[in-house]
Copies of this chain bind each other. A is one copy, B any other.
Amino acid sequence: APMTGELRCRCIQKVSEVIAPKHFANIELTPEGPHCPVSEVIATLKSGKEVCLDPTSRWVKMIISKILKQVNTKL
């Protein structure tokens, strides 16, 4: 999804198709603010590609909660 400059919303389009968790390098959550009236979820894939995700879709929420659970399982 093309990205805009910093002082506005960064997401124009959001990907709708599901992306498997293994492809994600990181996920950045930007809360709503003066620059943009809605929060935005921007993922960087391991390929280096940046995509905007829809914070309301179930699979996005599932991936985020999965990441939050990946703690201390190996320590």
Contacts and interface: CB of A to CB of B under 8 A. Distances in A.
Interface residues of A, number: 29
A8 interface: no
Contacts of A75: 37-38
B24 A27 contact: no
Contact of A41 (B30, B33, B37, B68): B68
Interface of A: 21, 24-33, 37-39, 41, 55-56, 60-61, 64, 67-75
A54 B68 CA distance: 9
A69 B38 CA distance: 9
A74 B26 contact: no
A31 B24 contact: yes
